[in-house]
Structure 1
Amino acid sequence: MLNKIFLLALLSVVSLSAVSADAPRPEVAESVKAWTGNEGVRVWTLRYGKRADNKALVQITHADHDWDQKIQLMDVENKGDRRDYSVNVDGKKFVVLNLNNANSGELTLPGEGVSRPISYSQLLSDEGNAQYLLTDYLKQEGKLPQ
């Protein structure tokens, strides 16, 4: 009898694990875009959701800042020859990235008085993996087990 109860409990856990593993993943672009800046700062961007949603995952690394390594979901606003990536900080829209069509832009982090120039890096972009970045974001948000 105890073996049957244990077997039923084990089957329930396996079934729940299969359901969570089969949950649909959000749509993302096929490739990550990477940008580099002063003192080795790196910015990784990935379209999140449908193009019309104008959302992106953004991770900033190698920055001496509270946001270092954190992946954030940002709004993307197309402004002709540039794209602005923003989040809400203290209830207000804060533009973190301005990226222009000339493969350059600026990174501005909360609490810093100056913007950092950044430029596109094909080499780093080729190293990026869209599905890994998405998985890391989903884990960070508690939508996947660690």
Structure 2
Amino acid sequence: MLRVCICCGGGFSSSVLMRKVKSELVEKGYDDKLKIGFCPFKEVHEHYGEYDVVMACPHLSYKIADYIEKYGNQVPIYVIPAMMYGTMNVKEVYQDALDIYEGYKKTHKNPMYFPGEDNNMKRKNRNVSYRKAYGITGEIEF
């Protein structure tokens, strides 16, 4: 089971989205594959051992490098594309989280980005998983 923490600035928007995603987990049959939690981004380091991937809301992208420098590189931190954050489709979240987790195990890069999406503006219009958006069926080279 993949454990994902969704973070926003204060925990408010992520908690609303988390409720939506948690209901979809059961509805779409992902409750045995994915565990979702949430917390304010400033507290996520206190929960590193509880999660495999941290997914941050888009407006936090400018804080991530400093956060990693201060609290370490123990868990991959990924900035969710703005449109994807707004729709929070559990299937798409799961696929991106799984790919980020696998990529991090190989590279230990942080923050984690998909190829060609290192610039926040390049990611903002994607509302589906990277794999689905680009028709990728094999391994992603990070």
**TM-score normalised by the shorter chain: which range applies?**
under 0.3
Specify the structure having the higher radius of gyration (Cα).
1
Q: Which structure: greater strand fraction?
A: 1
TM-score, normalised to structure 2, is 0.25
TM-score, normalised to structure 1, is 0.24
Q: Which structure: greater helix fraction?
A: 2
